[in-house]
Amino acid sequence: MGWIRALVFAAGLAIGAGAAEAQWFSGGDGRKPPETAVEIQLSFAPVVKAVAPAVVNVYANRAVAQRPMSPFFDDPLFRKFFGEEFGAGPAPRARMESSLGSGVIVDKSGIIVTNHHVVANATDVKISLADKREFDCDIILKDERTDLAVLRVREKGVFPVAQLGDSEALEVGDLVLAIGNPFGVGQTVTQGIVSALARTQVGISDYQFFIQTDAAINPGNSGGALVDMKGRLVGINTAIFSRSGGSIGIGFAIPVNMVKVVIESSRSGGVVRRPWLGADLQKVTPDIADGLGLDRPRGALVAQIAESSPAAAAGLRTGDLILSVDGVTVDDPDAVNYRLATRTVGGKVALIIRRAGKDRSLELALAAAPETVPRDERSIDGYSPFGGARVINLSPAVAEELRISGGATGVAVKDVIPGSPANRVGLQKGDVVVEVNGERIATTRDLDKAAQAEPVVWRIAIQRDGRTMRMVFR
């Protein structure tokens, strides 16, 4: 108990140091560390009691097709000699897989937010409340790009709700609690601080902008609540950095201001419509910063602008440097994308840009990316280099969804089946097929027709990350 007495003594010294020191510790908004023995003994229990009933366990089941493995079943030569039916191997058998996560009730009617990866491909979902009641749920929205999903309880009732906070009001050093179901042991509360804000190099979702915390987050916490000291939801816990699989004090949460957009979308049709900038942005390196006369790397450099886009209409030009969005300074392209993604389609935002050494103000209208051509989504069968790929006609809307840059035109790869011919030759989600054996590919119908040919040599051209790649297969 000596360390407790020392802590109390230290607190007493802080009090005795006078009002000047107390004012120095204060953040100017009333937030300050404990200064008395009484304050040190304060408990987080009232916060937990207010929020914990709204945090649920999420159980998701999915059926996985499984068949005995053989290197011959997928070999085209084996199928050619022994027939398609024999080469297909034994009929697949369904095997059930379960995943465990957490969720937060955000509407008294039973609307729940969780992570997309918790319920991805789920055939049925169930939640369990802190009071042990269980309910079946429907998935009403899945947004892979933010790693968020929205569930709705099938049974009518009135449920406890977590109050939504404002992630913009968070500061590094603020106390936070993480509530979830780690390792399936049951509802657990951990405490920590906001370690960092606006983490953009995490690689979890398309919108890289996370709250970092040292509150212990472990497997099973995904989809759980990160709350402030007033019991308000400020983030959805989504991932950890770990070499062991357990918490080492580096966890990440999706800011609640992003979560609000997904919740509202679930109430208005179940489709997330985000503002489209219509410009490719580039990170500012130290060398670029020196060339632009900046004191440090900051902002987002406009590298390319799509025709008839909101960026073009606002007067943005290639080479402009975006410094702020609605008065909030941005340090990189991910920060710009986040600021736009938390705004509503139909509104406007103010941009501060630097052009030719001078700062200028521009107004950007927030519009969704257009569907300029029908999607005509198709699955390519057979043993061509495209077999097993799901493809779609490219439009600004599709390019925005798949994060395709460079103003590419053609047919986009939406998904690739693992182990398929397309997977084996290295096709990836987001690739744009532009040419097959000398023929230009403009639509999914063109690609489907080209994939039915049986040439001795396949020569294909694809665009990936703005670069054209040419490949030859025999």
Catalytic residues: 117, 147, 222
Q: Give the span between the Cα atoms of 448 and 435, in whole angstroms.
A: 12
Contacts of 279 (CB under 8 A, 6+ apart): 302, 303, 304, 305, 306, 309, 311, 316
Integer CA distances (angstroms), 101 to 43, 108, 206, 252, in order: 27, 21, 21, 15
Q: How is residue 260 written in tokens?
A: 């609000």
Burial 79-113 (b: 16+ CB within 10 A, else e): beeeeeeebeeeeeeeeeeebbbbbbbbbeebbbb
Report the candidate in 148, 165, 47, 44 with the shortest Cα–Cα distance to residue 102. Answer: 148
Q: Give the span between the Cα atoms of 239 and 237, in whole angstroms.
A: 6
Report the candidate in 52, 135, 100 with the shortest Cα–Cα distance to residue 222. Answer: 100
Give the number of other CB atoms < 10 A from CB of residue 200: 17
- Name the residue with tokens 């099938």: 154
**Across the chain, which distance is largest between two alpha carbons, in Å?**
91
Q: Give the span between the Cα atoms of 15 and 441, in whole angstroms.
A: 75
Q: What are phi and psi of 291, to 5 degrees?
A: -65, -30
> Is the torsion defined by CA of 369, 374, 379, 385 positive or negative?
negative
Residue 427, Cβ density class (10 Å: 0-12 exposed, 13-18 middle, ≥19 buried):
buried
Half-sphere exposure of 145 (CA within 13 A, CB side): 18
